[in-house]
Every structure is written in C-alpha cells, then in structure tokens.
Amino acid sequence: MNTTTFDLPRRHMLQRRDTLDWAFAALVLLGGGYAFSRYQASMNGYEQGILLCAVPALIALGWFWRPLRLLCVASGAATLLAIGLYARNTDGFGADLAAGEQTFWLKYLLSSQSAILWMSLLFYMSTLFYWGGFFARAGRNSMAEVVGSKLAWGGVAMALIGTLVRWYESHQIGPDIGHIPVSNLYEVFVLFCWLTTLFHLYYEQRFATRSLGAYVMLVVSVAVTFLLWYTVAREAQEIQPLVPALQSWWMKIHVPANFVGYGSFALAAMVALAYLLKTATSRALWTGLVGMPLGIIAVIVAVRFGAGLDAATITGLDGWARKIGGVAVFLAVAIVLRPRLTARLPELPQLDDLMYKAIALGFAFFTIATILGAFWAAEAWGGYWSWDPKETWALIVWLNYAAWLHMRLMKGLRGQASAWWALVGLLVTTFAFLGVNMFLSGLHSYGTL
C-alpha cells in the first residue's frame, strides 16, 4: 500500500509527458551518448560524472520549462554544424581554425567570436524594443515587447553557440589548452549575459508580463558594452591556456554556480529599480538614484586630485567618473519619465514576489558556489579560506543577501525598504565581481583589467 502510494506521483509525472517530451529526452540521451563516446578519452572521472548528471538534469529542465527544448536543440544543432565545418579544415593536430575563417558560415555566423558578436547585437536590439514598448499605445504586451522577447531568445541562442564552439576551438589549439570557457572575464561576461537574460525570460513567462524586459535587459546591455570594450582594449577574445590553479574540475561547477547567483541578484536589482520608480517619492528617487552615483563621482574626484597617482590610474579614474556620470544622467531621465516607464508594470505584490524569488534562487546558488570555492581553494592553495580580497567580498555579498532574506522571512521586510536594499546589493555584488579585479590584488587575480 505504501509503495503504491509512493509511486503515484512519479507515475503521474511520467504519464503527463507527450510525444515531444519523449522526443526531446531521446535527443538529449543521444547527444550525451555521442559526447561520451566521442570525447571520453579527453575527460577524467569527475568530468564524466558531470556529463552523466547533466543529461537527466537537462531533460528535467526541458520538461519543466518547454521553451528550453527548442533552445537546446537549435544551439546544439548549430554547434554541430560549426564543428562539421571546422572538421573540413584539419592540420596535424586538429581543426585548422585559421582556415576555418575562410568558410562563410564560420566567419560570419558560427565561429565563437562571430556568434558572440551576434549575441551582443541581438541583446542591444532586444533592449531597444523593450524600451520602445513603454511608448506604444497598446495593452500590457505590445508588439515591440514581443519582438524584444524574441530577440532576447535569439541572443541567448547565439551566446550558447558561441560558448560551445569556443569550447571546441580551445581543444583544437593544443592538447593541453582545451577548457570549458568560464576561465576569464571575457568568458564569464558572456555567461553572465545569457544567464541573466534566460532568468528574465523564465520569469517573463511565469508572471505573464514583458514590461520588465526593459529594466532587466538594461543591465545585460551594460554587460555587453563592457564585454565589447574589454575585447577591443585587451583582445580578450583570444583563447589562452589555463594557469595551473584553474586547471581543476572544481572550476567547471564553481564558476557557473557563482554566476547563477550574480545573474539572479542583477535581475532582482532591476526589478527593485522598477518597484522604486513606481512607488517612491520624487525626492527619495532624486536623492537615492541620482545622489548615490554623484557621491561616488565625488569620491573618485577626491582620490584623483588628493593622492599622488600615476598617469594610467588617473586616466582610469577619469573614465569611470564619466561612466558613472552617464548612469546618473540616465537615472535622472528615468525619474522624469517615470509615469510612462511605470504605467505598464505589474502590480506591486507581483514585483515584490519576483524580487524575493530571484534573490532566494541567487542566494542558494551563491552559497553552493562559495562552498565549492572553499574546496577548490583547499586543493589549489592548501587552505579552505585565506581572507583573499575576492573571498572577503564574496562573504560580504553572502552576508548582505542572507540578512535581506532573514529580514524578509523573520521580520516581514517588504516594500521600498527591501527594494532599496536589493538595489544597493547590486553595487556590492558588482564590486565583488569587478571592483576586486580593478582595485585589489590577490590569489583570484586571473581576469585583471
């Protein structure tokens, strides 16, 4: 009796699957089997375990959220096409990447750099269409927002294609160079862009509104802008061998888990911005949204003129002052246009619930990533914790969101207070993500600016 009762939910779940569900599962199993048979010799036991666990996880995700199935099939097919085109040009070791650039589809669409450039364009266009939706005279979901959503899906697909093809390309350069592309700032910014967008697209469908796309895609566009600048300034698109400390299977799970947290926190912050534009007084908005970046600029100016700095540092500070000034101007315009920018937003309880769900998801994965990072540190440096600047700021980020969740669950934190906190949390997270690399040095200084 007990066994029958226990099996009912599982049987009911399997009976609800339709033909497309089982076809998707079969494709994933075939793809996983092909990858295992084709690349088994290049994987150690841990990597084989990750692959075996990834197959049922991907099937479950595709069953849980059906749009993922088309995304997985399309990006997988395009990646296989790119690999096939590369295979036509081989040298003594593997695919000749330089010769591959003479192939039209690789040069203009399917090579890793081309796909990532298409990702950048599609995310920019998506942001513009989402913002255009605020000025459309239509219902909750305007045609401009529908187009923006489709473009966002296209951007995610091109990001996945670029990432997977880059992974393949790295293995063609040399026997010991190939690695999963999450090892430097260029690669993790691509990861951040598509993960944040994918979270937004899920919540967009879950809450049946596209009006938040303008806010969320704004932070994605900022990340894309940094990615393009970093590419030009540092030629960061070039695939480099891993330093010894990164040659670990821990990297393959620590970094993605970390960026699930970063992406979720960024999404929560942009929802918080929408919440504040909808509810806060003009005085509070001018003080918080415009006064905060102006205060940061004042600190930069004080440091710039009050300390004996070298020319390169002064140039860098001037550049950041201009960028933050641009943020202040944008926020000022948003405050002026707030009636137009908030008229189509969901109701406040829905915004508050989305903010909570995003932070809860991000906190769970960030906690997992921190624990995994401690194990990785023990393997690489002989200790679980060393108060390295990156570790210290990761702890600050964790404590910030732990306190936010505690205040919400135990003290009933809601409304503008929680929104301001979530927005400030993005500044803390950004410094942990980028600021440590810019201003501090330590054991994690792999992606310096």
* Tens digit of each residue's pLDDT (9 = 90 or more) over 395-422: 999 999 999 999 999 998 899 999 999 9
Task: Assess whether pLDDT exceeds 80 at residue 437.
Answer: no
Q: Which residue's entry shows tokens 């040095």?
A: 441
Band of residue 35 on the pLDDT scale cut at 50, 70, 90: confident
pLDDT of residue 11: 53
- Out of 17-26, 37-46, 59-68, 167-176, least confident range: 37-46
Can you give the length of the chain in residues?
A: 449
Supply the pLDDT for residue 223. Answer: 94
Residue 8 clears pLDDT 50, i.e. is over it? no
Weakest-pLDDT range from 5-19, 45-59, 424-438: 5-19
Q: What is the pLDDT of residue 443?
A: 56
Q: Is the pLDDT of residue 1 over 60?
A: no
pLDDT band of 5, cuts 50, 70, 90: very low
- What pLDDT was estimated at residue 138? 59
- Band (pLDDT 50/70/90 cuts) for residue 272 is very high
Place of tokens 């070791």: 93
Task: Please enumerate in sequence order all residues whose Cβ is within 8 A of that of 345, keeping only pairs 6 or more positions apart, or say none.
Answer: 209, 211, 212, 274, 278, 351
Residue 81, token pair as written in the block: 């096409």
d(CA 293, CA 282): 16
Query: How far apart, in whole angstroms, are the C-alpha atoms of residue 359 and residue 266?
Result: 9
Render pLDDT for 357-376 as a digit per residue (tens, 0 to 9).
999 999 999 999 999 998 88
Which of 50-64, 210-224, 275-289, 426-440 has the least mean pLDDT? 426-440
* Of 29, 57, 27, 51, the residue nearest 39 (C-alpha): 51
Judged by average pLDDT, the poorest of 102-116, 231-245, 259-273, 386-400 is 231-245
Higher pLDDT, 11 or 205: 205
Contact 202, 273 (CB under 8 A): no
Position 125, amino acid = M
pLDDT tens per residue across span 90-134: 765 677 787 777 889 999 999 999 999 999 999 999 999 999 888
Q: What's the pLDDT tens digit per position in 142-176?
A: 888 999 999 999 999 999 999 999 998 988 887 77
59: confidence class by pLDDT, cuts 50, 70, 90: very high
Determine the pLDDT at residue 444: 57
Query: How many C-beta atoms lie closer than 10 Å to residue 29's C-beta?
Result: 14
What does the block give as tokens for 444? Answer: 């994690």
Q: Are 178 and 140 in contact (CB under 8 A)?
A: no
The whole-number pLDDT of residue 274 equals 95
Range from 32-46, 121-135, 157-171, 180-194 carrying the lowest mean pLDDT: 32-46
Predicted confidence (pLDDT) at residue 256 exceeds the cutoff of 90: yes
Q: Is the CB of residue 345 less than 8 Å from the CB of residue 274?
A: yes
DSSP string, 22-54: HHHHHHHHHHHHHHHHHHGGG--HHHHHHHHHH
- Band of pLDDT at residue 42, cut at 50, 70 and 90: confident
Q: Which two tokens stand for residue 257?
A: 């888990």
Three-class SS of 79-132: HHHHHHHHHCCECCCCECHHHHCCCHHHHHHHCHHHHHHHHHHHHHHHHHHHHH
What SS3 state is found at 382?
coil
pLDDT score recorded for residue 368 = 96
- Whether the per-residue pLDDT at 378 is higher than 70: the answer is yes
Is the pTM for the entire model greater than 0.85?
yes
User: Which of 337, 334, 327 is CA-nearest to residue 294?
Assistant: 327
Report how far apart, in Å, the C-alpha atoms of 290 and of each of 63, 76, 219, 300 are. Answer: 44, 44, 17, 16
In this predicted structure, what is the pLDDT of residue 129? Answer: 94
Residue with structure tokens 């489709």? 150
**Most confident region among 235-239, 289-293, 311-315 by mean pLDDT:** 289-293
Cα(321)–Cα(371) distance, rounded to whole angstroms? 35
Q: Which residue, 223, 214, 211, 260, is CA-closest to 358?
A: 260
> Are 431 and 389 a contacting pair, CB within 8 Å?
no
